[in-house]
């Protein structure tokens, strides 16, 4: 059983690295003082299964001299596997929560400035995973002390590549009025206001949209002309 402290190098991370790598790739190679998951020719490929804030400084440094491609898996479907402290499976159920492509903004909000580098590209994978949990009393209070001890890749369903910042606008609804509010965006995309705010914050930091005023108490945003 994988320990809680090694979640950043969980089975999911290792399995995606294996799935993504090709013949000729160099794995776990040190570049400019940092260990890179995959080096493919002149491109550094980093796989991140957790919080982007933890790798922001590393990526920023590498982008000065290297092309960097960041890969991020989103659990489109997830099965919760309850295990004993000795690693024996006790029960399994499918989580009602479904990940979606727009969830990338939950993490991109932490690194919007990287999209301003011509050396940066991003890829989202929609995946199916098993999530192993153990009632060891050491986990989050939200899960009543239950720990997430590992995640295992079951399948990669789809891949979406964003070669430049402008590619993010492909996620925008075609019929969204311009200018628009966070509420307009939330309704058009069928998401929460909170998630709409994360999207507009990220795109504004990148420079793809701009704040142009107010509509009553709501901010008004407009797409920036190319």
Per-residue pLDDT, 5: 34
How many other CB atoms are found less than 10 A from the CB of residue 16? 22
| pLDDT band of 135, cuts 50, 70, 90 | confident
Choosing from 165, 197, 213, the residue where a domain stops is 165
Q: What is the DSSP letter of 224?
A: P
User: What pTM does this model have?
Assistant: 0.89
Same domain, 96 and 55: yes
Same domain, 74 and 183: no
The pLDDT of residue 81 is above 80? yes
Same domain, 35 and 147: yes
> How far is C-alpha 5 from the geometric centre of its chain's CA atoms?
20
Q: Are strands 43-47 and 67-83 parallel, antiparallel or unpaired?
A: parallel
Same domain, 127 and 184: no
Phi then psi for residue 32, to 5 deg, are: 50, 40
| pLDDT band of 69, cuts 50, 70, 90 | very high
Same domain, 140 and 94: yes
The parent domain of residue 106 ranges over 4-165
Percent pLDDT > 90 in the chain is 78
For residue 176, cis peptide bond before it (omega within 30 degrees of 0)? no
Same domain, 36 and 137: yes
The pLDDT of residue 143 is above 80? no
The stretch 122-147 carries a mean pLDDT of: 86
**Mean of the per-residue pLDDT values for the chain?**
91
Same domain, 77 and 127: yes
Q: How many domains does the chain divide into? A: 2
Per-residue pLDDT, 67: 98
User: What whole-number distance in Å separates Cα of residue 86 and Cα of residue 58?
Assistant: 36
Choosing from 165, 188, 217, the residue where a domain stops is 165
* pLDDT, tens only, 12-27: 999 999 999 999 999 9
Per-residue pLDDT, 9: 55
Same domain, 147 and 201: no
Same domain, 73 and 10: yes
């Amino acid at each position: 059983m994988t320990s809680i402290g090694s979640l950043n190098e969980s089975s999911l991370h290792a399995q995606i690295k294996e799935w993504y790598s090709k013949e000729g790739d160099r794995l776990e190679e040190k570049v400019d003082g940092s260990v890179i998951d995959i080096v493919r020719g002149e491109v550094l490929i980093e796989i991140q299964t957790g919080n982007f804030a933890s790798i922001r400084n590393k990526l920023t440094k590498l982008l000065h001299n290297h092309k960097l491609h960041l890969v991020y898996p989103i659990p489109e479907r997830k099965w919760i596997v309850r295990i004993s402290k000795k690693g024996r499976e006790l029960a399994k159920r499918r989580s009602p929560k479904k990940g979606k492509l727009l969830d990338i903004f939950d993490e991109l909000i932490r690194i919007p400035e990287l999209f301003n580098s011509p050396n940066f590209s991003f890829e989202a994978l929609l995946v199916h995973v098993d999530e192993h949990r153990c009632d060891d009393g050491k986990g989050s209070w939200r899960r009543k002390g239950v720990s997430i001890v590992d995640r295992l890749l079951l399948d990669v369903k789809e891949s979406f590549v964003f070669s430049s910042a402008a590619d993010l606008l492909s996620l925008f609804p075609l019929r969204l009025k311009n200018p628009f509010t966070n509420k307009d965006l939330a309704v058009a995309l069928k998401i929460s206001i909170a998630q709409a705010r994360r999207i507009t914050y990220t795109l504004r930091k990148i420079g793809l949209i701009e704040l142009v005023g107010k509509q009553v108490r709501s901010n008004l945003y407009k797409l920036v002309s190319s």
